[in-house]
Amino acid sequence: MKDTRHLPFSFLLFWLSQSVSQLGSAMTSFALTIWAYQQTGSATAVSLMAFCTYLPWVAVGLFCGGFIDSHHKRSIMLWSDGLAALCSLAVALLWATGTLQIQHIYLVNAVIGLMNAFQSPAQTVAIGILVPADARIRASGMSSLAGNLTAVVAPMAAAALLALGGLGLVIAVDLLTFLAAFLPLWLLISVPEQPQPQRTASPLAGCRQGLTFLRRDRKLLTVVLTMALINFFSRLTYENILSPMILARSGGSAQVLGQVTAVIGIGGIIGGLAVSLDRRQHDCMRMIYLPAVCSFLCGDLLMAVGRGPLLWCLAGLAASLPVPVINAGSQALWYQRVPLAMQGRVFAVRGAIQWCTIPVAILSGGLLADRVLEPFMAGSSAPAHWLQTLVGRGPGSGMAVLFLCTGLLGGLSCLLFYRLSTIKKSH
């Protein structure tokens, strides 16, 4: 077996530089969220920021795969990152002149989402080229590690920079981190391409070819539908509901919320480290489904019934620790089953399908909590009384019921998918 103790230097440089850029982008996103909430006082306005990012990503992602397969991946990433950096610069200029409005952020986020539709699958294909086949699970673990480190560090770093110099300083640091990723990719990192990339007739043809490939591979089709469901359930709660639920049930304690959020990030870091340091070969299907079952049944259910910081932190750890394992197993499976010449088209369609449930979850999570479950749990019906014995009563109990629903539905769905013959059967 090939020795995978040492990943290629080109990948390590790529991973490090992209991780630094990811940190800068996350700091700007956090700072803009704070700015938007201060300007509007509306949680819906903040949710629309994320919605405007994901919607063009999903809509365009279906059709950009052929372009990715027929063009140099490095060039696509450079152009995408460059245009995203110009968006950040535009926000900084609008803020400096006192003309920045929430509508500008919606537009900027839409452009960034459009760039992500090209950058994300191109980066995925590039990693598969840079990393040997038997080291791709470790590479995915390192990507998860970087993402979770960013989730922990970015809010603290953004808050410190906001206190020192306001939004402009945060974006200035973001632009510096962009250069830290752009220059190595432009000058030092080479991504080998096929001698004669296959060209597709139109974006629609590339989309059709990617969908046809998925229809013929029942295992991958089942996995992508499962990941879409996982994304829906997780974003329904953790994207919208976690923060208001913790605040409502802790007397508005920002300290408790910070503790829970930090533990969720730490769980992801531990999971990412475990995957990136493990050199053994694993069954990809087990890596996807069994950790997902544990995340939902242990994490979401414990978050629902928890009444204090200790149980909430344990729930956050149980929910987040398996996520890097899930992502690594999924990524390795797609690299195994999709030929390099088709990866751009298939990965673009995969991304669009997996992420299409997120805008729906972002819009529906808050509405379900505010309009349905919180009023229901404040009532005196027999089902409400029964649920109160599980999750407690008072503000936040309706949001806890939503965690109860996602834990049960998510866990049982993943267990069912794992049992399907299309998953167990080797194609």
Give yes or no for residue 236 having a pLDDT over 50.
yes
- pLDDT confidence of residue 41: 66
Mean of pLDDT values over 217-232? 91
Q: 394 in a domain, yes or no?
A: yes
pLDDT in tens, 389-405: 999 888 889 989 999 99
Give yes or no for residue 407 having a pLDDT over 60.
yes
Q: Is residue 377 very low, low, confident or very high in pLDDT (cuts 50, 70, 90)?
A: very high
397-419 and 218-234 helices, crossing angle to 10°: 170
Q: 347 in a domain, yes or no?
A: yes
pLDDT in tens, 163-198: 898 889 999 999 999 999 999 999 999 888 765 445
Q: 210 in a domain, yes or no?
A: yes
CA angle 114, 117, 121 (to 5 degrees): 160
User: What gap in Å lies between CA 225 and CA 280, rounded to an integer?
Assistant: 27
Q: Is residue 421 very low, low, confident or very high in pLDDT (cuts 50, 70, 90)?
A: low
Structure tokens of 386? 């029964």
CATH number at residue 82: 1.20.1250.20
pLDDT in tens, 121-151: 889 888 988 988 888 888 888 888 888 888 8
Mean of pLDDT over the chain = 86
- pLDDT confidence of residue 170: 92
Mean of pLDDT values over 231-255? 84
Query: Is 97 in contact with 51 (CB distance < 8 Å)?
Result: no
Structure tokens of 304? 């629902």
- pLDDT confidence of residue 410: 95
Residues in contact with 61: Cβ distance below 8 Å, sequence separation at least 6, in sequence order: 117, 120, 121, 348, 349, 351, 352, 355
Q: How many residues can be counted in the chain? A: 427
Q: 119 in a domain, yes or no?
A: yes
Q: 248 in a domain, yes or no?
A: yes
- pLDDT confidence of residue 314: 96
Nearest to 243 by CA among 228, 254, 227, 232: 254
- The whole-model pTM stands at 0.81
- pLDDT confidence of residue 108: 93
Q: How many domains does the chain fold into?
A: 1
Q: 366 in a domain, yes or no?
A: yes
* Domain region containing 283: 9-187+204-424
- pLDDT confidence of residue 423: 53
Residues in contact with 381: Cβ distance below 8 Å, sequence separation at least 6, in sequence order: none
Looking at the chain, the whole-number percentage of residues with pLDDT higher than 70 is 94
CA angle 265, 335, 236 (to 5 degrees): 40
- pLDDT confidence of residue 296: 96
Q: 197 in a domain, yes or no?
A: no
Torsion 83-88-93-95 (CA) sign: positive
Q: 2 in a domain, yes or no?
A: no
